[in-house]
Structures are given as C-alpha cells and as structure tokens.
Structure 1
Amino acid sequence: MINAQGLQKSYGTVSVLADVTFTLGDGQHAALVGHNGTGKTTILKILAGLVTADVGKVDFGPLARVGYLPQDTSAVGDETVFDYVRRVMGLDGLETEMNELSVRFEEPGVPERYAAAEAAFERVGGYGLERRVESMLAGLGMERVSLSSSVARLSSGQKSKVAMAALLLQDNDVLLLDEPTNNLDLPALAWLETFIHGSKATVLVVSHDRRFIDRIADKVIVLDWHTRRALVSNGTYSDYLIQSEKERARQLEAYLGQQEEIGRLSARAVQMKQRAAAGARWTGSDNDKHLRGFKRDQSSGSGRGAKAIERRIEQMQRVEKPFERDPLDIDIGEDLGVGDRTIRLVDVVAGRPGGFVVGPISQQAAFGERFGILGMNGVGKSTLLKTITGHLAPISGRVYVGGGVKMGDMLQEHDTLPRDLSPFAFLKERAGFDEPRTYALLARFGVSANIAKESIVTLSPGGRARVLIALFSALQKNVIVLDEPTNHLDLEAMDALESALEFYQGTIIIVSHDRYFLEKMRLDTLVELVDGHLQKIEDFAGYLRQAEERAKRLMHTNPSG
C-alpha cells in the first residue's frame, strides 16, 4: 500500500506541493497526472526516499519492498546485460555474502545469517535468474540480444529496457514508475501493460500516455496546478476527464447563476436605496403633512429593505468561479513555398561505416503526405531520420530533397540542446526574434520569464521539450520531421501539439510509439522498419492487436513477475 499524508515541499519561495494526501490499497494501480511543474516527479522521489518532504509522512506498511524507476533511466557501464541485472538486483552482494559465510558455518550466528541471505537470494529468483531475465527481455522485444552482450553497445532504448527489466525482476511490493513508456516501442508497451495488469504490487505511474494509463490504472491522482494539492478520482483517466468536465460545467453554471442572482438583488437594493433617498428628501406643501409622514415611513422601510438585501448577499455561501489556466495554443505556421517539395530516398544505406547500418531503402514522401515510421528499439528509426534531415550523411545511395523544401526537425535527442545557454538566449538566436517577442513566445509555452533566464541544463525533460516546440512554432517550415515528439510532454502540451498538427498542410514524417497520437495524426502512410527495410502496415489496429496478443502469449508461457 501507499499512504501519503499532508505532503508539502517548497524550493526557496516556490511551493511545489501543498498538503498532498492520497492512499492506495494493496495491489492497486494508479496514475499520477498533472501539468509540467506540478510536482509529479517530486512526489515519486519523496515516496522513494530520495527527497525529504518539508511536512507530511509516508507509510508503505511493514517490511514493504519499494522499487523506483526514474525518468529516462538507462543501463550504464561496460558489463554484460546479465551482470548488470545481477548487480542492480543486489545478487552479487548476496552471493558474495553467502560464499563468505559458507566457510564459517560452524561459528555462532553464521547459520542464521546465511539463511537470511539465502532467503533474500531466493526471493528475487537468484537461482533461476538467467531464464527469468531472458523471458522478461523477450517480452520487451529484446529476444535477439544476448545476455552476454555489452550494455555499452546497446541503443538508448535497449538500455532503458534493460534497466526496467532489472527493476521489475526484483518482485517489489510497491512500484514507482516515472514515464516508463518514453523509450518503449509498441510491442514492449503492450507487454508492460500486460505485466502491470498481472502484478500484485501496488503501482503508481507517472505517464503522458493516455491509452497506457487508461488500461493500467483504476485510480487517478491529479496534481492541481493552481492549489498544488491532489485530487483523487476512482476509475480510468478517461472517466476522470468526463467527470471533471461535468463538474467544471456544473460549477460554472452554479457560479454564473449565483452571480446573476447577486446582480438582481444588488439592483433591487440600489432601487430601494434610491426610493429611500427620494422619500427622505420629499417636502411637499404645508397641507401635505400626512403625505409627508407617509413618504418618510415608506423611505425608512425602503432603507431597511435595502439593508436586508445586502445582508442576504453578504451571507450567501459563495460559489467559486472554476479556475482555468490560459489554454496552451501551438501555432505551427507553414510557408508552403513553391517548386519541388518531394523527399526521396534512393538505395540509401544509413548508419556509420563499420558499425550499425540500415538499408538499402528506397522511399518517397510526396508534399503534404503524413508518413509514420514504427519499429522496435535499436532497429535504426532515429538513424534514418537523421539521414533524411541531413544530420547524418548516408553511407551510400542518395537522399533527394526538393528545392522547394523548407525542413524543420524535432529529433529525439533533447541533450543536443546547448545546455550552457538559457531558453531565452537559445530561442532568440535560433528564431531571430527581438527580446519582447522571445519572452512572449516562451510564455505561451509555459516558460516563465524567470525560468527563461536559467540554463537549459536546469530544465526538466518536459521543460526542454516545450522549448523545442516553441522554437518549432517560430520556424515557418513546409516539412516537419518528428522523432518521438510526445516524449516528456504533459497531457496539455500533447493536446495542443495534436491540434496544431491536425491543420498543418505541409509534409509530416513521424516516429512515435504513442498509439493515441498516431491515430489522431490520420497518417497517409505507415511503415515498420524491420531488418533494415521498410514494410508497409496496412492495418494499424490489426498491428496493435497482434502486439497485444504476443504480449499475453509471452506472459502466459513465461511469467516473469
């Protein structure tokens, strides 16, 4: 279980969390959602014991084993895949301890210590670990990767999968997962959904993947940007969106109704005050003494009535106006241009000489086409995009880019941003804007003036993604190339990006694993990169069904949890 009570956290004068309270029962699976900067990762770090809350407490129950997967985690080092998993799981230390104790078995207390170490070794499956690692890596789509492979030679996505496998194999009672889907391909994503469904652990997931959290979570914890508190909703994320919109509409209707009533009563009070003032000033003639008295009595009554109405207004239990952030609006303006705007690959072999290569590939993207590329981690999707955009020269073949093409790219590597520059300096230089226009553009994407002056290195992955999209919106391009554009974006930014791309008239080339995003893009062509070649996918829904059926098959025949 997870029991978080009254968590508060501030950094300097900035309040990140204010009285966050929620409870998850044993085996319950929940999604933690909210805008960038609302403290989602901070909560996970507090729960994992990496950050101390200023106020509040956390309880997992007695002897609970807690596993934490940070955002953008990947395996590092020169060791083999199997040695890495053993080390992270703590099996090396346990095995060393057992070996040392085995030669001192006659000493007092040693048998008990050996039994405790062996029990811990068995609990995480130390004796059958090789089979379990192979099974889990197969589920994550790495059946072709040998356990003796060097971690250093894996792709970034494969390194993330190895790190995830090492965590999931530990059989923890509580799993804290921060954006676990960012570096997963679609088959691995389907497998992870199946794994979590079958897990008896209490799971708290931070994710921007709407389809994923809909499928794995039966509770949603929403961090409110305005109050910095947690709103807890039972059911799926889609259920929460429906209910929250109904509640917002109900509250707005109640607020407007009350404001209308206040306005009506206030106008009535003003009329009565005016009548009272007129009666008090009325003098009439000496022959109208009785009428003058009547007018004054009537004036006094009107004055009392006005005060009664004002007291009624004051005593009303006010309905708060629903708080609404200014919506994020991304405008990807395009300069459609003229001339040949075709992109064509002719027998292109991409990669690095003597290293990993893909191809030969021959493919064309006509102007205005929406072209999607799928594929497992490590098959060369990013390599192919870097070759198309000119960041990487082809080993052989030709990349033909028409003279009318004005290409903009948002590739996956956020680390290529100049870390020593501020968002303001970077955007001003790349977009060629003056200072006021640069600040205004950053503000539109949720980057405040203070943050705009900090070094890019201090930004979260989500913050860096927003800076990139801000630049993207400033560049008038008629071809855009996107490599995992939804990674690190919060749900608000993803919705805005989807809306902007919906009306974009130029060519779009996308690599993505986000099912909801791909469906919204209304792709003209969808291909999968397999064994260095592009294979057309005629039925995306059928492709997803096959991935899900494969995941269930693997989980049934080789349960790894």
Structure 2
Amino acid sequence: MIRLENIGKQNGRQIIFIEASAALQKGEKIGLVGPNGAGKTTLFRMVTGEEQPDEGQVAVDRGVTIGYFSQDVGDMAGQSAAATVMDGAGPVSAVAAELKALEAAFADPDQADAMDDLIQRYGEVQGRFEELGGYALEGKAREVLAGLGFSEEMMDGDVGKLSGGWKMRVALARILLMRPDAMLLDEPSNHLDIESLIWLEAFLKGYEGALMMTSHDRAFMNRIVNKIIEIDGGSLTTYSGDYDFYEQQRALADKQQQAQFERQQAMLAKEINFIERFKARASHAAQVQSRVKKLEKIDRVEPPKRRQTVMFEFQPAPRSGEDVVSIKAVQKAYGSRTIYDGLDFQIRRRERWCVMGVNGAGKSTLLKLIAGTAEPDAGTVAVGGSVKMGYFAQHAMELLDGEETVFQSLENQFPQAGQGSLRALAGCFGFSGDDVEKRCRVLSGGEKARLVMAKMLFDPPNFLVLDEPTNHLDMATKDMLIQALAGYEGTMLFVSHDRHFLAALSNRVLELTPDGIHTYGGGYTEYVARTGQEAPGLRG
C-alpha cells in the first residue's frame, strides 16, 4: 500500500534518512521506534505528502485513504465535540450543523413568522442527513468519544472550552471514525487514562486497515503491533514481532556486532604489530607490502551504537517513622459533587500504593490532600514524624524559570553540589553535552518532566507522591525511572496510566469507588488477577 523507496532527507545540517526503505502493507500494524529527533514525525509527514524526500520516493497505491493523527491538533472551537468528530467524515457534518441550527431556530420566538419555511427546510435537510447515513454516523461518533472517556455533556459542549488533552482526544476520534485505509498515529496513547487506552487497544486490534504508530507505552505497543520499523542513524530496519521481540533482537544483534568488532580489532592489532616489527627488514619487504595492501582492503566493522541510558542511583533516603500518613474521616467536595465522605486510610513505611479509580474518582485530589496543596472540608490528614516528602505533579513543570538553563536550574536548587555531580545527574535524566545549556522555556513536555524529576530525586525524600510521573517520558527514560525506583528504600503513593510502571513498582492497590475505598494487599498484577480487569472503569 505504502512504500518508502531509497529515501534521503536532510533538515539543515542534520541528515535524517540515507537511502532508507520500508513498506506498510494492508492489515499490518507497525510500531515506529527510534530516539527523539530520529525522524519519526518527518517520516509520517512524508507519507502524507506534507514534506517531500530530497531523494528517492514515497509511493502510495492509488485510492488509498490516509488518516494522520499528530500532537499538533490546531484550533478547535465553535461547535460541539461530536460535530467536530463528524467533520472528519466529509459533507455529512455540514448537514448535521444545519440541522442543529434549524432546531435552535424552532425555539427562537423571533423566528415564529418563518416557522413554515423552517419546517419545510428541516424536512429537506433531515432527508439529506438520513441519505448520508448521518444518524448511524452520529451514533458511531458518540461511541468513539465515549470510548475515549467523554461524557454526553462533554460531547455536546463547545469543543473550544476543552483542555489541550481533551482536544487531542477529539482529534484522535476524528481519525478513528474516518476508518481510512491506513492510519498514521503519532503518540495516540498520550493524554489517555487507562480505561481509554484499553478501549483504544481493542479498537485498533479490530481495525482492518494498515496502521503505523509511535507510542511511549510498552504494554499498548506490545498488544497491537506485529512489526517494528526502527529509525536509527538515517536507515530504516524492519523487525517482525512486537516491541519486546524487537528489543531482544536488537540486544542480540548488538552483542554479535560487538563480538565481530572485537575479533577484527584483535586481528588488526596482530597485523599492524607484524608490519611495525618487520618494515625495516629487506628480507620481509614483500610480506610487509602484501599485509599493508590486505589491511587497506578490509571492510571495517563498526562497534554497535551505545544506546544504554545512564542509570540513576538514589542516595540513601533518611529513614521515616513507621506511620507515614494517617487519613481520618476526611470529607471533600467540589461544589455539589462529593469526592470523599468519611475517608479513612493509612500508609506505612516502605509501602508502595498505586491509586486506581475512574476519571473524577478523586485520585489526584487524594495526592493533593496528602501533599498539602489542598485542604479537607472535614477530618484530618496527618503526615508522620521525620517524613520528608517529594511531590511530583504536572503543574510542577509550569513552575520552572523559563530564562534559566537546565544546568542553572539544578545549580540554584543544589548550590552545595559540585559541577561534576550535577552534570552526572543531568546525564542520567537525558541532558547530555550541550543539552544542559538549553533554556527551560524551550524544553519539550518530556524534557521538563525529566528536569523536575531530577530535582526531586537528587536529594531523595523518604516518601514519594507521584501524579502521572510517566506522562511525556519516552520508553528509555521510563525504564531508567522504573529501575531507579525499584531500588528505592522509601515509601511511595502514585497515580499512573502506564501498566508497565504500575506492575513493576506497586505492592499495594488503593481503589477509589463511589461506594468507598477497596484495598488490595498485592501490587497491580495481583489486582488484575483478582478483579479480572485492568482498570476499575472496565467493570460492568
């Protein structure tokens, strides 16, 4: 269906692709992987025709429709979320908008004199709407939006009033409703809660067209893709299998290449040694010459590229008392909506609680109450003696000073630390070389999250409260964080929609439900086994 044939592409001085080739066939579900800046978005834009390769060609079979979801959703306002989603389906959305306008006119007393004309026009427009399959389409649009977490109220509300994350979901819903022959999805798992992620997984598994996507969510990628295309050093390499299989194959290929490199280096050293020893002897001149010629003709084996993320190791955190947090008879409401009514909950030293619950259950509110950024309406939240808390929330990224560089930001937080240890810290969190001189205002969401995390973990607290810590993080940083936190001696309370993160780090589950809380003694994996569901919102 879609073929990339010997493509070359350069942006300024940066070479992105050199004679790279790959293909996307009908029914294939491909995961596109590669380090940040490797060219994943450029590749998508070349397939859609928004960019052209400098060399080679992108061939798309005739009649193939392509739907492209990117993180840049553009401006949305002036109509409902449901109408915006139907917009992607062509003329039917304009007819739907006219129907809505006519319905509004019926209720307008100023239009009473024109009622006969309005009724006649309504009949015509309604007939056209039915002809175009509008009612079925609206039902499907609402089904997709519901799958992505929208309430009926949100579907009918002005899309312009939604936050950036919800607008992303509207843009994604448009592509899903369109059901093109090929879907290109750039990070569709960002901004989704766990229920929406699992719904999207099922939708994409049942989708019969071709799919190419990027995602930082390992579980999501593993369950959907049957092939991986890796962008690395300008070339495209295809692996059959899921993400875990690709990682194993990569590690194996790197190991073989390293062994080959070392064997060749040993052979070269031997030959060079011989040449050096005998080059001055006339009796060995012919042999020396023949070995020099042999060396000139040898294809040099390159060592494998080093992809290892630098590991972050915690300094030992000071020990807290056994009782870390005690919550008694807490009540909390926002307006008429009651979040907790008589909540009792205890956190003890070295417990690692993950908090589960549907949207609006009060997961973030619980973390805010414990961190002290929100107050209960009644009851008490008591943090134990000698507890040193580190709280990570999305708003922490907005508090960075935009004019400071990454290094200055670290230096101002830890004036006693040496330059070497701060550079090592920056390196662990993905700021190597010149990256430490970037100003905070130009950092991406992922870079900001890494910087905030680095500042929080350098002088480690003994109680970590983390609200969606893996949002914006790529897989390598996520894996580094999981390994670092696995060795952490303190206590943890966290909310995450990343199932790999949940399974690796929790040893207790707190589930918030409308009829109170449920606690589970094992971690997330045991919770899934006991409830038969990966998230509370999936029960029915």
Give the TM bin, normalised by the shorter chain.
0.7 to 0.9
Match of 1:247 in 2: 253
Q: Who wins on radius of gyration, i.e. which is larger?
A: 1
> Are the equivalent residues in 1 in contact too, given 2:511–2:518 (CA < 8 A)?
yes
> Are the equivalent residues in 2 in contact too, given 1:360–1:532 (CA < 8 A)?
no
Q: How far, CA to CA, are the matches of 1:313 and 1:435 in structure 2? A: 47
Instruction: Report the residue type matching 1:408 in the other structure.
Output: G
How many residues are aligned here?
Answer: 509
Q: How far, CA to CA, are the matches of 1:121 and 1:516 in structure 2? A: 46
Match of 2:190 in 1: 182
> Are the equivalent residues in 1 in contact too, given 2:319–2:490 (CA < 8 A)?
no
Q: Does 1:541 align with 2:528?
A: yes
Q: How far, CA to CA, are the matches of 1:273 and 1:431 in structure 2? A: 58
Query: What secondary structure does 2:373 align onto?
Result: coil
In structure 2, relative to structure 1, the CA distance for the partners of 1:397 and 1:18 (3 Å cut) is farther
Moved more, 385-394 or 25-34: 385-394
Gapped regions of structure 2 (runs ≥ 5): 102-123
Match of 1:282 in 2: none
In structure 2, relative to structure 1, the CA distance for the partners of 1:59 and 1:459 (3 Å cut) is farther
Match of 2:454 in 1: 470
Match of 1:316 in 2: 298
Query: What secondary structure does 2:178 align onto?
Result: coil
Instruction: Report the Cα offset of residue 30 of structure 1.
Output: 0.6
Q: How far, CA to CA, are the matches of 1:354 and 1:78 in structure 2? A: 28
Q: Following superposition of structure 1 onto structure 2, how do residues 16-165 of structure 1 map, counting pairs within 5 Å?
A: 16-49=16-49, 57-71=57-71, 77=77, 79-87=79-87, 89-90=89-90, 91-93=92-94, 95=96, 122=132, 126-142=134-150, 147-148=155-156, 160-165=168-173
- Residue in structure 1 matching 2:224, options 216, 230, 235: 216
Q: Once superposed, what is the RMSD of the aligned Cα atoms?
A: 3.7
Instruction: Report the residue type matching 1:333 in the other structure.
Output: Q
> Are the equivalent residues in 2 in contact too, given 1:341–1:404 (CA < 8 A)?
no
> Are the equivalent residues in 1 in contact too, given 2:314–2:458 (CA < 8 A)?
yes
**TM-score of the superposed pair, with normalisation by structure 1:** 0.79
Describe the superposition over 1:386-419 as per-residue Cα deviations: whole angstroms up to 9, x where unpaired: 2221222223322211231111122234652436
Instruction: Report the Cα offset of residue 254 of structure 1.
Output: 1.3
Q: Does 1:485 align with 2:472?
A: no
> Are the equivalent residues in 1 in contact too, given 2:30–2:212 (CA < 8 A)?
yes
> Are the equivalent residues in 2 in contact too, given 1:349–1:361 (CA < 8 A)?
yes
Q: How far, CA to CA, are the matches of 2:130 and 2:49 in structure 1? A: 21
Q: Does 1:503 align with 2:470?
A: no
Instruction: Report the residue type matching 1:542 in the other structure.
Output: A
Q: Which has the higher contact order (CA 8 A, sep 6+)?
A: 1
Instruction: Report the Cα offset of residue 51 of structure 1.
Output: 5.3
In structure 2, relative to structure 1, the CA distance for the partners of 1:324 and 1:453 (3 Å cut) is closer
Describe the superposition over 1:249-298 as per-residue Cα deviations: whole angstroms up to 9, x where unpaired: 11111111122222233333444447x3xxxxxxxxxxxxxxxxxxxxxx
Describe the superposition over 1:443-490 as per-residue Cα deviations: whole angstroms up to 9, x where unpaired: 342224544344434222222222222223323211112222222222
Q: How far, CA to CA, are the matches of 1:359 and 1:41 in structure 2? A: 47
Q: What percent identity do the matched residue pairs reach?
A: 31
- Residue in structure 2 matching 1:362, options 325, 329, 344: 344
In structure 2, relative to structure 1, the CA distance for the partners of 1:44 and 1:264 (3 Å cut) is same
Match of 1:380 in 2: 362
Q: How far, CA to CA, are the matches of 2:465 and 2:297 in structure 1? A: 59
Describe the superposition over 1:351-394 as per-residue Cα deviations: whole angstroms up to 9, x where unpaired: 64556734542211111111111222333322222222122222
Instruction: Report the residue type matching 1:264 in the other structure.
Output: K
In structure 2, relative to structure 1, the CA distance for the partners of 1:435 and 1:354 (3 Å cut) is farther
**TM-score of the superposed pair, with normalisation by structure 2:** 0.82
Q: Following superposition of structure 1 onto structure 2, how do residues 415-434 of structure 1 map, counting pairs within 5 Å?
A: 415-418=397-400, 420-422=402-404, 423-432=406-415
Match of 1:281 in 2: none
Q: How far, CA to CA, are the matches of 1:524 and 1:540 in structure 2? A: 10
Query: What secondary structure does 2:244 align onto?
Result: helix
Gapped regions of structure 1 (runs ≥ 5): 101-113, 277-299, 555-561
In structure 2, relative to structure 1, the CA distance for the partners of 1:73 and 1:254 (3 Å cut) is same
Q: How far, CA to CA, are the matches of 1:474 and 1:354 in structure 2? A: 41
Instruction: Report the residue type matching 1:426 in the other structure.
Output: S
Q: How far, CA to CA, are the matches of 2:452 and 2:416 in structure 1? A: 15
Query: What secondary structure does 2:37 align onto?
Result: coil
Describe the superposition over 1:488-532 as per-residue Cα deviations: whole angstroms up to 9, x where unpaired: 2222111111110111000111211222222221x2211222228
Q: How far, CA to CA, are the matches of 1:16 and 1:208 in structure 2? A: 21
Q: How far, CA to CA, are the matches of 1:78 and 1:372 in structure 2? A: 39
In structure 2, relative to structure 1, the CA distance for the partners of 1:415 and 1:550 (3 Å cut) is closer
Match of 1:410 in 2: 392
